Structure 1
Amino acid sequence: MIHRIKNMARMALVVSLIGLSAVSEAATGGFSSGTGSTATAVTVTTLTELKNAFNNGNHHIIVSGTIYGGATLTTLTFASTSWNNTTIEGASGGQAILENIQLKFSGETLATGTNIENIVVKNITFRGRIADLQALPKQVYGTSNNVGINYLGVSLRRVSNAWIDHCTFYDISDDLMSVSLSSDNVTLSYNHFYFTAAWRDMNPDPVWNWVGTDSDLAGERLAMVIGANKSDSYTYGGNKLRVTMHHNWFGPNMRGRPLIRGWVHAYNNYFDNTGQPSGTITATNGTAYSKQQYNAFQIGSGSVIYSEYNYYYLTNNSNQLGLDSSGDSYSFFEKSGTNTYNGVTGTKITGAAFTGSPVGAYTYTADTTNIPSIVQANAGPK
């Protein structure tokens, strides 16, 4: 095991900064104060109705049933502050599905310091259709053939006060979701992130090019990124990317991540490597790629992480460094004796003990026992 903490003195500043942010009852137990829309809801059941609601600027959209985005994927990009105070949710009953559809909230073109505000996405399953992704031409980052590389379930870019709650994400060809580009005050609660055995063992297994490196699609079984790179991190990017992750279920069939570069409070998450995928899969280029999980929780450059009452089951390299450069700063804290490591393999970093409460922005009550059963019973759409 490795025990490594950098810039301990910075923690007091981190706590005081976090204490400046307030949270409402909308997303209790997390950084987000997102309450979403108060507008009259419109219910959509088809792709045409969904696109019409988007084009008409409806701020409260209820998804009913399964909506298929087509073989070449559909991305709805919410790119201006006119989308402040938006809710997209599934109808009650847990049967709302967006297939081959990405919701991209992106303030990238806004004036410096301006983010899209107050976004709520809840009670929806996001999934990809494997056959459609296999049929795409080779996907290469930075070319016109890149819809699969840029395809997630939900993408938050320069978004503040967002709450992603009771959603399921699976079989999606990039990370399942992301929080990046100085997004801030985000809560991810009661979500399920996983891949199916059909994805893990897909045949044929295409080779795509992610940022200059060929890799197989079956191996792209990644949960999420919080922070796109070192400059988009809590420490090096202006003290943004404050994110709470609680009661989320990661797995099975996950190869790696979340990759964390933000200030993240992670509690009551279940990292599930049931089945412990092993062996290799031969891709269309003849290369054999490993099916094994390479990590569960990846500690990235510029991150400050406080971890407590999380449960790791059969995970490999449960807490692993994934720095952009070897000398980059990070701080990793664990509440002593609260995280459970059951049947884990490989190596894991042990966080420094933190005796006080590092969370000043909100109150929360962590579950202390039966975390796998609580999370599995409650994560995902209802």
Structure 2
Amino acid sequence: MQKAFNEHKHHIVISGYISAGSTIKTFTFADTSWNNVTVEGEAGGKAVLENIQLKFDGELLSNGTNISNIVVKNITFRGNISVLQKLSGADTQPGGIGTNYLGISFRRTTNALVDHCTIYDTSDDLTCVTLGSDKITFQYCHFYFSNAWVNMNPNPIWNWVGKNQDLASERLAMVIGANRNDSYEYGGKMLHVTLHHNWFGPNMKGRPLIRGFVHEYNNYFDNSTGRSDQYNANQIGSGSVIYSEANYFYKTNQSNQVGLDQNGDSYKFYERNNVYNGTTGTSQKGASFPSTTNFGYTYTAESASLVPSDVQNNAGPK
């Protein structure tokens, strides 16, 4: 895989299991020479990248220029818990290889598709869309944390953003927009993201945290393990515009929760035809979809009642 990257291959096929060993490895696609790249697992669903992050990062490019046209599909991304437990020092502080370890990250990237991937047990969010990225779709993906992660022993204390926390409690799915200034309303009308037929959970603590223009439909938010400290599914952030429809929320806690970077920040939250089964806590109720809603593409949302079966049977590598 390193050889393919060094040779600037634009179609990389993963066969079987590849591990970074006793460290964490990030492949950074950092300029427009990486436009039009596909990284995919071969058919059969056995492609695994362990302790490896794919980072599409155009933040050093000139303003207005993003990396574009990226496809990642049919791969399982997983963290090795024993390796993460052994990290120490700068690796576990803000900016460290542990605290910045995701499966896939998009920063200043436009037109990307993540299709039939599984991401679990990474020590930051499982994935992110930030820094003015735009037109990103996640479909038929599974995001979760294992029981081994929840029960890890020893359970080290790390510092992600100036606050110490135990590693086992850092179980976050996805962030869309890094902060208030990197949001749809306050950051230049970018961060259009579509989430459909994804499986979030089990063992999730929270998220997606959304500061973008996000259309989410037919996703399964799964707290079937019944943990009382979770699962705050949709975290509605500053500058967001969220359209949520025909999703299935199962035993989630505070299923839609507003959390703004500054008091008075704007947000818009619309919903229709969602199912809330066994949910707890107080949840934000969305407004009705506007009659003029137009996402720029055609789609058909299936009944939310069909979502758990469809998503569990079809999400992840095949």
Q: Distance in 1 between matches of 2:252 and 2:282?
A: 10
Q: Check if 1:353 corresponds to 2:288.
A: yes
Q: What is the identity percentage for the equivalent residue pairs of Structure 1 and Structure 2?
A: 64
Q: Check if 1:126 corresponds to 2:61.
A: no
Q: Distance in 1 between matches of 2:231 and 2:277?
A: 17
SS in 2 for 1:149: coil
Tell me which stretches of 4 or more aligned residues in structure 1 moved more than 6 Å.
Answer: none
Deviations 1:123-159 (A, max 9, x none): 00000000000000041104xxx10111100000000
Q: Distance in 2 between matches of 1:323 and 1:107?
A: 27
Contact 1:117 1:162 in 2 (8 A): yes
**Partner residue in 2 for 1:308:** 245
Deviation at 1:359, TM superposition (A): 2.5
Q: Distance in 1 between matches of 2:217 and 2:122?
A: 25
Contact 2:223 2:231 in 1 (8 A): no
Q: Check if 1:140 corresponds to 2:93.
A: yes
SS in 2 for 1:370: helix
**Partner residue in 1 for 2:153:** 203
Q: Distance in 2 between matches of 1:265 and 1:356?
A: 15
SS in 2 for 1:352: coil
Deviation at 1:357, TM superposition (A): 4.8
SS in 1 for 2:164: strand
**Partner residue in 2 for 1:83:** 34
Q: Distance in 1 between matches of 2:21 and 2:130?
A: 27
Deviation at 1:358, TM superposition (A): 1.8
SS in 2 for 1:353: coil
Q: Distance in 2 between matches of 1:355 and 1:161?
A: 26
Q: Do the aligned partners of residues 109 and 355 (structure 1) sit closer, same or farther apart at CA in structure 2, a change above 3 Å counting?
A: closer
Find the partner of 1:297 among 221, 234, 243.
234
Q: Which has the higher contact order (CA 8 A, sep 6+)?
A: 1
Q: TM-score, normalised by structure 2?
A: 0.98
Count of residues paired in the alignment: 315
SS in 2 for 1:52: helix
Deviation at 1:112, TM superposition (A): 0.2
Larger deviation, residues 364-373 vs 213-222? 364-373
The higher radius of gyration belongs to 1
Q: Distance in 2 between matches of 1:258 and 1:170?
A: 14
Deviation at 1:275, TM superposition (A): 1.4
Deviations 1:180-221 (A, max 9, x none): 000001111000000011101111110000110001100000
**Partner residue in 1 for 2:193:** 243
Contact 1:251 1:272 in 2 (8 A): yes
Q: What RMSD in Å do the two structures reach over aligned CA positions?
A: 0.9
SS in 1 for 2:309: helix
Find the partner of 2:170 among 212, 220, 224.
220
Contact 1:306 1:358 in 2 (8 A): no
Q: Check if 1:176 corresponds to 2:113.
A: no
Q: TM-score, normalised by structure 1?
A: 0.81
Consecutive unaligned residues in structure 1, runs of 5 or more: 1-49, 279-291
**Partner residue in 1 for 2:270:** 333
Consecutive unaligned residues in structure 2, runs of 5 or more: none
Q: Distance in 2 between matches of 1:109 and 1:194?
A: 31
Deviation at 1:360, TM superposition (A): 3.6
Q: Check if 1:317 corresponds to 2:248.
A: no
